[in-house]
Amino acid sequence: MAYTYDDQNIFAKILRGEIPNTTVLETDHALAFRDINAQAPEHVLVIPKGPYVCYDHFALAASDAEIVDFTRAIGQVVQALGVGADGDGYRLLSNAGKDGVQEVPHLHVHIVAGRHMGRMLSPA
Ligand code: AMP
């Protein structure tokens, strides 16, 4: 399956510095910033800097260094928010494609925390 990356998506523009963001963490291969429309007291998006459409694209095509860096960045953000380990917890999710209701076609994981999240899925 071929993945087509649109470099005009809003996160690509953030990575190029064309649109501002509220950065939480930056690493060699990842950027974490606050979601502009937070769904919880804490809502941070973590994205790889490389041109990956969605999680499976990244998991299959990214280098080991990118995967390690991105995964560690998620852990560091959770730690910085104080919600991991002995904290109150969080939800980590990544939407993909039409059925996943992905709005921005650049891989991002949402880290949401600071309130009880309810059940994982609600009826469509
Ligand atoms: P998704 O449906 O998983 O693609 O979610 C995209 C997320 O990106 C939504 O939660 C939006 O609120 C968020 N978003 C869109 N534009 C921006 C932006 N400029 N800065 C931060 N978050 C954004």
Across 1-124, the runs of DSSP E, i.e. the strands, are 23-26, 30-34, 42-48, 91-93, 109-113
Greatest Cα pair distance in the chain: 41
The pair of structure tokens assigned to 72 is: 């560690």
* 55 CA from centroid of ligand 1 (Å): 16
> Could you confirm whether 110 is annotated as catalytic?
no
Judge residue 115's burial from the number of C-beta atoms within 10 Å of its C-beta, 0-12 exposed, 13-18 middle, 19 or more buried. Answer: exposed
What fold is seen in the domain 10-105?
A: HIT family, subunit A (3.30.428)
pLDDT reported for residue 1: 66
pLDDT reported for residue 84: 94
Among 22, 103, 107, residue to substitute to test ligand 1 (most atoms within 8 Å of Cβ): 103
Partner residues linked to 93 by β-bridges: 110
Per-10-residue mean pLDDT for the chain, 124 residues long?
A: 92 98 98 98 98 98 98 98 94 97 98 94 74
Domain borders along the chain are 10-105
* 20 CA from centroid of ligand 1 (Å): 13
Ligand 1-lining residues (CB < 6 angstroms): 10, 19, 21, 35-37, 45, 95, 101-104
pLDDT reported for residue 38: 98
Residue type (1 letter), 49: K
Residue 34, classed as helix, strand or coil, is strand
* 102 CA from centroid of ligand 1 (Å): 9
